[in-house]
Structures are given as structure tokens and as C-alpha cells.
Amino acid sequence: MMNLELARLLVRSFLERLEDDLNLESPRFRGVCSKSEREALRYLVEFASAPAEAIRSLDPIPDSAFLDEQISTAPESELEVDEVSPTPIIEMPAPAGEVHEPVDSAGTGERQSLQAPVGSIYAASDLSFEVDGTAWTQSSPPGGEFVLCLDFGTAKSKAFAASVNGDSFEDVDLVEIALGRRDNDIDRAVYTVASSVWISDDGLMHAGSSAMLKSMEAGVVGNASRRRLDSVKQQLTLISVEQDLRILKLEPEINPTTIDLSYEDAICFYLGYITDLAVSELEVRGHSRYLRRRFTIPAWRETQRAWAAPILARLLIRAQVLADTFHGHWAKGIPATSLKKAIAAAELHEKELLYLLDGYNARSETFPKGLLEPIAAGSGRIMADRNARNLVLIVDVGAGTTDFSLFWSVQGPKGRKAYPVEPCGDAVKVAGDILDEILIAELLNRADGSLADWMRKRFETEIRHLGIRRMKETLFVTGRLDLTVADQSVSIELEEFLSLERVKRFGQTIEDAIRKFLASVDPTWRKADQALIVLTGGGASLPMVKDLVNKRWELGGRPITFKPAETVPEAIQEFDADFQREYPQLAVAIGGALPVLEERFMLREFAGAATKPGPLERTQMTGV
């Protein structure tokens, strides 16, 4: 006998099948069940699950979907045009503990309300914001010697803060920043957050794990006409030719709205999100939201660095205004129109925000060039590792690139110093993301070959939803991956995966790039001994990366063997298990927050172990 609960479950199941059908290339039921009918079914499911005393208080079902559908199908002669009424504004109360006072962007003394224009796609669902100008009212950065470093990563972004009171690691006050915990990271990371942006059909923008989840709910996998913006900084990293990101518009498959959004807008939006995560964590730990900050960059060529680094610097300080304005509201999505106005306000007050940039030269109006990721990773590792002496090779395997750098490390009574060895660093665009895609492709190949296209797409969607990085970790840690999704069971052994030709090429490409890098080092360095190799980054534990320590290398025409360093240096072993586990991914952010390792003190030739190299007596915190 049918009862209310059984009926509700059956209708919910029917709705789920309708939603799955909509994600297909050729939906079978789009003409059978309309959008307004689906809305009605959802409303009835909610009605059936509500307590009896609450049923009377349920809001009426929104009729916008029904009206839109009727208008879109009605003959033009039957349409009547009504006068457009003003768009309702929903004022959002400030979150608990919010202390920032909104300020106008034009300096008129009036607050600027950010709301959607009349007739915009947001209608009554739009959110109203006021630009928070606290950041540009500061006369100087509080926080003393503390500095915040943002590592804007290809797949994951990280942050770290530190105060340096001396030359040794023991004098450093470290401030760990759990971005992933605040973001509710989809991969369950504590300190890292996904570098992703998603723009919904109704114009709400999401970042981090929210972007990942919202896009998965929309079924974008396998849909060529709709995609999420992953690797947000890709336009800066993969294209070496100078470009104006303000006029480089987001493709329609990324931005489905009619709102004019550029890549610069998207990068600034994401930086605003991770900035808010970072400075909110600093507040909890008793620090200011307005610490001086640094940023790291890949091993860009000088021409690329010359135009791309100043763009990042400008967007980084504008991001603080976004962080303050949208604080507490990211999870609900930020209307694109509100974002555009907040960015415009921040740009208008850019000069008042320059104090946030560590290394900005006010006299020459020169922006900092950013800290090279290989140098930051090496600097942080050498300061934290008392065993890092003499020649040190750093191999940083990230998600988008693998970076290498070579250092000469000197340890004395005043602490440890590191000097880059020319050519300092290099990178190859081969890293962890490639292995993710290879694993997905192999899992799809092992699925039932008779599957229809729509079922294969569902299979791929669920794989990505479950987290391909976690699957890859399981495969490499346990030696086997068993997976059952979308009624398909597949498995793969680690040895099988490593034997794939594409995986072999992955490891060989990294090895060849390192050999080429070492061949460019001056031959005098062949006299150096006690060489150490440090593997870091998210891919440091990959078998083909760990195998680099067993290779025979050449430096200056002489064979050299690098001794492997500990995965986690002794100083970091004092931190909790989560921090130690994610340390390889945090090395760049940590190093970026430590004393600046000046590139101008780069060494070209080997001067001998007894000679103190370089003119630098002590590193500086502020940089000039």
C-alpha cells in the first residue's frame, strides 16, 4: 500500500533520473518533463517531507521557471510587455564578528552599494554588498616584522606567514595557515585549496572546493559547451607572450552569462577568496588582516616575468578589498556584477593599497617581481634543515610544473645562508596533473567497452567527484586501486600503471630536463662535494620522482651523486601530523615567508668551501 513517505522517495528517485538525463548530450526526457514541472516535483517532495505543523508556512513554489518557459514558447504576437519594476535588494547582514566599516569607492563619504542592475539575470535573488574600504584607510601595514606569502598554485594554493628576528630558523616565528580547513577542501587537505573558479548559469561565482562541487552538480564533465576554470593562473604561466588580461574575455563555456568578465576579473576573484581565507586565519591567531605580503611565481623567463609579475602584484592588493567586502559570503556565491564593481573600487584606490606589497619601491614606483618558486622552496628547506650544506639541488614537483634550483649553502655561527647558483632555476611543464589525466583515461579504458557514451561520461563524472587525487594516492600508497562507480567495477595495479608508455615518458621528461639544467652550470662547480638532493612538492613521493636519487648525474663534466635529504626536515617534525603530511606542498609558501633570498647575490663560479660566497652579510625581511 502506498504511503506518503514511499511516494516521496519514488518522486525523488524520478527527479534524480531526470537530472541525470539532462546531463546527456542528447537528453531523452527534456520534451517529456519541462523545467517548471521539475520545479513542481521538487516542491512536492519538500512538502511531503515537512512536519505537519510547518506545511502551512511553506513558501509558494517560485513561478519564474514556469513564466520563462511560457514566454520562450509563446508566439511574439501574444506577448505583452509590462513596465519593468525595480529589482528588489536583499540586504545581507554582516557575519558575526565582522568589524570592517564599508567605505565608498569614489571618496565621497557615502557607502557604495553593489547590486544588480534593473533587468539583470539576478532579479530578486541578487545579493547587495557594500565595498569595504578598510584596507585603503590604513596608513601602514601593522604586524611588525610579520609577512604573509601566498603561493598561487596551478592546482592548489597555499599560504604561510612568518616573523624573522634573526638569521637562524630557531629565531623564526612561524604562522601556519590552514586554508584547506576553512575551505572544506574537497580532497580533505588541511592547508591547501583548489585553484578553481566556477560561474553558475545565474551569474554566481564560486572558488575553491565550492567551485569544484557546484560544477560537478551541474554535470560539466564531458560537456564541451560548459566547463570550470581550473588552474586559474594558466593564462599567466603557459603563455609567454605579453597579453592584456583585461581584454582577454572568459570563453562562453566558462562564463555563460551576458556579463563582461575577463581573465583578470577571474584571477582577482580567486585571489580575493584565498586572501580572505588566509587573513581570516591570521585574525584568529591574533594577527592583522593587513600584513605585508609576498607572492611566488614559477621559473618564468625574464621577459614573461617582466609583464606578468606586476599584474599579479596589482591583483594581489586589490584582492584584499574583495576579501573584506565578501567576507562570510563566499559559500553562497558572489554575483558577477558585484565583483566587477568591487574590483573597480579597489583599482581606484590602488595607490592607497601599495603598502600591502612587501618589496614595493615607492621612489621608483617599481613593483616586486615575485619570488621564484624554486628559490623559495630551496630557501625554506635550507633554513629548516641543518643537514643542508654545500651544494643542494631542489626538485619541486607541483601540479602544473616541475621546478629545479641549485644552491650553495653555508652554515656558521650566525645561522644558515643559501646562495643561488647560476642559472638559479628552471622548470618543465610536466607535473602531477598529467598523471591524474592518465589515470582517469586508464580507468575509463578498463570499464565495460560496451558502455554507451552517456554512461561513460557518468562514470568519468563520478570519478572526478570522488577525487582523482585521492585515488592516485591510494594507488601509489597501497599498490592497487579498486573502484566501483556508476555500476562499474574496475581495478588497476601500481606496476601496471607505471608500465604505461605515457607514465614512462612523464618520468623521463623530468629526468632529461634536470640533466639539461645541470649541464648549464659552470664547470668549476664540479669541485664541490657533499651534494644533496631535496625532493619537494605534491609529487615528491611519486615513484619515478623518488627514483631520481638513484640516478648518476653530471655536473661540469664530472659524475656526481646526490645524497637524498629527509622528506621532512627535523625542524618541521615538531609540527602535527597533518602539517608534516602536507609539508612538501607547503615548502614554497614557507620559504616565501622567510628572509628574502636575493637573486642578485647569485653565484656563477665555485669559490671553494672555505670562502664565504657573496657580499650579503645578512638577509633582509622587507626587501627594497
Contacts of 160 (CB under 8 A, 6+ apart): 148, 149, 151, 174, 175, 176, 177, 586, 589, 590, 592, 593
Contacts of 260 (CB under 8 A, 6+ apart): 249, 340
Residue 179 to residue 191: CA distance in whole angstroms: 5
Per the model's pLDDT, the better-predicted residue between 135 and 620 turns out to be 135
Of 581, 126, 603, 23, the residue nearest 335 (C-alpha): 126
Distances (CA, A) of 340 to 69, 90, 337, 566: 30, 19, 5, 47
Q: Which of 92-101, 278-287, 565-574 has the lowest mean pLDDT?
A: 92-101
What's the pLDDT at 472? 86
What's the pLDDT at 29? 55
Residue 137 to residue 349: CA distance in whole angstroms: 10
For 229-252, b where at least 16 C-beta lie within 10 A, e where not — what string? Answer: bbbbbebbbeeeeeeebeeeebee
Contact 257, 121 (CB under 8 A): yes
Q: 3-state secondary structure string, 178-205?
A: CHHHHHCCCCCCCCCEECEEEECCCCEE
Question: Mean pLDDT, to the nearest integer, of 511-528?
Answer: 88
How confident is the model over 453-465, as pLDDT tens digits? 777 777 777 777 6
Burial environment of residue 478 by CB neighbours within 10 A (0 to 12, 13 to 18, 19 or more)? exposed
Q: Which of 34-43, 91-100, 441-450 has the lowest mean pLDDT?
A: 91-100
How confident is the model over 14-55, as pLDDT tens digits? 666 666 556 554 455 555 566 666 666 766 755 554 444 443
Q: Which of 162-171, 177-186, 262-271, 523-532 has the lowest mean pLDDT?
A: 162-171
How confident is the model over 363-409, as pLDDT tens digits? 888 898 888 887 787 777 777 666 666 788 888 888 778 888 888 87
What's the pLDDT at 467? 72
365: its cell numbers: 614606483
536, pLDDT greater than 80? yes
- The count of other CB atoms within 10 Å of the CB of residue 419 is 21
Per the model's pLDDT, the better-predicted residue between 595 and 375 turns out to be 375
63: its cell numbers: 513561478
Question: Mean pLDDT, to the nearest integer, of 427-452?
Answer: 81
Highest mean pLDDT among 125-129, 427-431, 478-482: 478-482
Highest mean pLDDT among 85-99, 214-228, 559-573: 559-573
What value does the mean pLDDT of the chain take? 76
Bond before 423 cis per omega within 30 degrees: yes
Contact 318, 336 (CB under 8 A): no
| % of the chain beyond a pLDDT of 70 | 69
78: its cell numbers: 501574444
pLDDT band at 183 (very low <50, low <70, confident <90, very high): very high
Of 374, 392, 381, the residue nearest 570 (C-alpha): 381
What predicted TM-score, i.e. pTM, was given to this entire model? 0.70
How confident is the model over 296-325, as pLDDT tens digits? 988 787 888 889 899 999 999 999 999 999
For 545-562, b where at least 16 C-beta lie within 10 A, e where not — what string? Answer: beebeeeebebbeeebeb
490, pLDDT greater than 50? yes
Q: Could you tell me the strand order of the sheet in which 204-207 lies?
A: 229-230, 196-199, 204-207, 334-335
Per the model's pLDDT, the better-predicted residue between 364 and 451 turns out to be 364
Ranges of beta strands (E only) in 398-472 are 402-412, 415-428
Contact 316, 148 (CB under 8 A): no
Phi, psi of 322 (to 5 degrees): -65, -40
How confident is the model over 237-248, as pLDDT tens digits? 766 677 788 888
Phi, psi of 230 (to 5 degrees): -95, 165
Residue 301 to residue 307: CA distance in whole angstroms: 11
- 414 conformational bin, left if phi > 0, alpha if psi -120 to 50, beta if neither: alpha
For 443-467, b where at least 16 C-beta lie within 10 A, e where not — what string? Answer: bbeebeeebeebbbbbbbbbbbbeb
Residue 595 to residue 168: CA distance in whole angstroms: 10
Distances (CA, A) of 226 to 204, 335, 462: 15, 19, 17
What's the pLDDT at 374? 77
Per the model's pLDDT, the better-predicted residue between 119 and 505 turns out to be 505
Measure CA of the first residue to CA of the last residue in the chain; give whole Å.
79
Contacts of 100 (CB under 8 A, 6+ apart): 132, 134, 324, 327
Q: Which of 9-18, 266-275, 556-565, 598-607 has the lowest mean pLDDT?
A: 9-18
119, pLDDT greater than 70? no
Distances (CA, A) of 101 to 98, 104, 171, 295, 374: 9, 10, 36, 27, 40
Tell me which amino acid residue 544 is.
M
| % of the chain beyond a pLDDT of 90 | 27
What's the pLDDT at 432? 81
Question: Mean pLDDT, to the nearest integer, of 553-570?
Answer: 82
How confident is the model over 65-94, as pLDDT tens digits? 333 333 333 343 333 333 333 333 333 333
Residue 184 to residue 292: CA distance in whole angstroms: 26
What's the pLDDT at 245? 86
What's the pLDDT at 533? 87
617, pLDDT greater than 60? no
The position carrying cell 558577477 is 336
250: its cell numbers: 572568459
- DSSP bridge pairs for 278: none
184: its cell numbers: 572544506
DSSP designation for 574? G
Distances (CA, A) of 273 to 247, 331, 347, 401, 548: 22, 10, 17, 23, 37
pLDDT band at 350 (very low <50, low <70, confident <90, very high): very high
Burial environment of residue 481 by CB neighbours within 10 A (0 to 12, 13 to 18, 19 or more)? buried
C-alpha count within 13 angstroms, C-beta hemisphere, residue 38: 19
- DSSP bridge pairs for 159: 150
Distances (CA, A) of 5 to 38, 52, 106, 572: 19, 13, 57, 54
Per the model's pLDDT, the better-predicted residue between 323 and 422 turns out to be 323
